[in-house]
Amino acid sequence: MPLTPRHNHLLAALPEQAFERLKGDLELVTLPLGKALYESGDALRHVYFPTDSIISLLYVMENGASAEISVVGNEGLVGIAVFMGGESTPSRAIVQSAGHAYRLPGQRLKDEFNRHGELLVLMLRYTQALITQMAQTAVCNRHHSIDQQLCRWLLLSLDRLQSDHVRMTQELIANMLGVRREGVTDAAGKLQRLGIIEYSRGHIKVLDRKRLEALSCECYEVVRRETERLLPYLPLRTPTGQQED
């Protein structure tokens, strides 16, 4: 099925008039794995609305160590600093799962935001959901085991994809979580021995999502419920692993 802007749920939720004003400036771009959409401190000239890709927002330390603070997929956009007034951010945006996104000049989004209409409300509610994810990620990284963090990370990723497959090496997952690769190897090995995932050469297939949710900490469910409350139009998966109608 050909991709359209409506494959991004934020764009799909816009009223027709607002969508028509933006449609002519939306450009479909291919996002290969590992591509940096922006680096720390860059001026954000575009925002990205993912369709079938996932973007990780990372903070990078002076020594090169990094940790993921949130993931963005077809439920949202990358580049909230554009309409929040900051124009730049200390985070780094990296393609975690290859795919596509619709790119929009930042000024066009600001113009529509400043109309104080439906897009403004939608962007602010999305930003609150994103802040919740960031806060919960910080708590999770501090208080929960690598096993639980990996389960949370896999579930958040699956919610933003159309399948139960995630393409990601253990080294990259370790960089996202800010932990040692050996910790991810051990955690992934446990899940594989339990028959919950199948892992081979950077390809993770989730075999039993229900058990994955049971082994995750409460952080995934907190983020899911808050996102569902703030953005009720999203076709999020239910706790049983099925897509809601």
pLDDT at 113: 93
Q: Could you give the percent of the chain with pLDDT greater than 90? A: 52
Which amino acid appears at position 191 of this protein? L
pLDDT at 206: 92
**Is the model more confident about 172 or about 208?**
208
* Cβ neighbours, 10 Å, residue 200: 8
Q: What is the distance between the alpha carbons of residues 130 and 136, in angstroms, rounded to a whole number? A: 10
**pLDDT per residue over 95-128, tens digit each?**
988 899 999 999 999 999 999 888 999 999 999 9
pLDDT at 235: 59
pLDDT at 160: 87
pLDDT at 243: 44
**pLDDT per residue over 146-158, tens digit each?**
899 889 989 998 8
CA distances to 4, 75, 171, 195, 198 from 106, in Å:
20, 19, 33, 45, 40
Kindly tell me if the per-residue pLDDT of 237 is higher than 50.
no
Our measurement of the distance from residue 114's CA atom to the centroid of its chain's CA atoms, rounded to an integer in Å, reads: 25
Segment 154-167 shows an average pLDDT of: 84
Contact call for residues 155 and 206 (beta carbons, < 8 A): no
- Token pair, residue 189, equals 């090995």
List, as one string, the DSSP characters of 100-162.
EEEEEEHHHHHHHHTTTSHHHHHHHHHHHHHHHHHHHHHHHHHHS-HHHHHHHHHHHHHTTSS
pLDDT at 231: 85
Bridge-partner residues for 105, per DSSP?
A: 46
pLDDT at 239: 42
Phi-psi region of 109 (alpha: psi -120 to 50; beta: other; left: phi over 0): alpha
The DSSP call for residue 7 is G
Specify the DSSP element, H or E, that contains 17. helix 16-23
* Cβ neighbours, 10 Å, residue 110: 14
Specify the DSSP element, H or E, that contains 83. helix 81-84
Residue length, the chain?
245
Which class is domain 5-116? Answer: mainly beta
Confidence of residue 240 (pLDDT cuts 50, 70, 90): very low
Residue ranges of domains in the chain: 5-116, 139-230
Q: What is the distance between the alpha carbons of residues 131 and 136, in angstroms, rounded to a whole number? A: 9
**pLDDT per residue over 31-84, tens digit each?**
998 899 998 888 899 999 999 999 999 988 778 777 888 999 999 999 999 998
Q: What is the distance between the alpha carbons of residues 202 and 103, in angstroms, rounded to a whole number? A: 28
Which class is domain 139-230? Answer: mainly alpha
pLDDT at 69: 87
Bridge-partner residues for 180, per DSSP?
A: none
Contact call for residues 98 and 54 (beta carbons, < 8 A): no
Q: What is the distance between the alpha carbons of residues 234 and 101, in angstroms, rounded to a whole number? A: 17
Kindly tell me if the per-residue pLDDT of 23 is higher than 50.
yes
